[in-house]
Structure 1
């Protein structure tokens, strides 16, 4: 059994693998410590309410107990971001019929009905984008994920991947172009 200090030394991916093997909840606790702020920020962005966002953070991490066993997770931070976003979108969708008038001024810029009807389309586009990312070559996929999902700078990406700066920039630029082509082929701009 590892100590809390041992967990801190492990990467996210090592923690996910350890949890899948042992199902120890203290591993989820370490991930919670690392990413509570990220998940709270995502929830606050979508839900626009601090209390609801706090509740949503707890619900997302409770879901991890089951979800991490069911999914192959290679980039935990990006996967967690998408999981939190999807949780919030589902909450907003379920509210549509209930207290719609109460939440609409906070989440709508123009016609409220048009925006709520766009939520499934946005989810579909994000799903297509995730599939298009998978079609990229390994080097492009790695650089695109690090740059856009993990928000690493060029220098950090060169350190992580061992690619020189020009290669990193090239992989990101070409990956972005290939994603655009893939999305356009699938009917999305």
Structure 2
């Protein structure tokens, strides 16, 4: 039932741009977004500001992006907002950002069973560097900067189907490389 009402609010907001609809959609998730932001910032005021900044970014993003699972999409948006903000402030290295991404994906999708170690993160960074330029660029834009397929295609100049292929093949090659180097 919640998914249906969320989908209704998403569709209605996309069609009308009515901020009250967006507010009703976002409000139940505000405590979760605050908690996620606090995990990264460890600062109440900064986390509260981020909750509002994320809402402001939703105003534009939900008008152009088709979202099927709002909770997962919002989680990724909020996580990437915090990571990019920290990265901008130069308080976190690329390896730290990738550690947060891997940890967040593990928690969200529960795909990773191995504990995340510095060795594993270094391995991931090493394997990411081994991908061809197209795959590496598309993966960084799609996952780190949370660009949609269309945005990645516009930024890179690659055909939309090529972008999807580069991301899919890049993920597979990254996994294969990591498994090969762990043996």
TM-score under structure 2 normalisation? 0.54
Q: Which has the larger radius of gyration?
A: 1
Alignment pair present for 1:25 and 2:2: no
Cα distance, 1:85 vs structure 2? 0.4
Please list the CA deviations of residues 41-70 of structure 1 after superposition, one character each: whole Å capped at 9, or x if unmatched: 110011110000000000000000001112
Alignment pair present for 1:46 and 2:40: yes
In structure 2, distance between residues paired with 1:186 and 1:71:
32
- 2:176 aligned partner: 185
Structure 1 unmatched runs, 5+: 1-7, 101-114, 131-144, 149-180
Structure 1 residues 92 and 9 mapped into 2: Cα distance closer, same or farther (>3 Å)? closer
- 2:67 aligned partner: 73
Contact 1:89–1:119 (Cα < 8 Å) also in 2: no
Alignment pair present for 1:13 and 2:4: no
RMSD across aligned C-alpha pairs, in angstroms? Answer: 3.4
In structure 1, distance between residues paired with 2:59 and 2:82:
18
TM-score under structure 1 normalisation? 0.52
Alignment pair present for 1:58 and 2:49: no
In structure 2, distance between residues paired with 1:125 and 1:35:
22
- 1:117 aligned partner: 94
Please list the CA deviations of residues 124-157 of structure 1 after superposition, one character each: whole Å capped at 9, or x if unmatched: 7589x79xxxxxxxxxxxxxx7x75xxxxxxxxx
Structure 2 unmatched runs, 5+: 111-170
Cα distance, 1:187 vs structure 2? 4.2
Say which of 85, 97, 106 aligns to 1:91: 85
Alignment pair present for 1:35 and 2:4: no
SS at match of 2:85: helix
Cα distance, 1:10 vs structure 2? 5.6
| Superposed counterparts of 1:149-160, under 5 Å | none
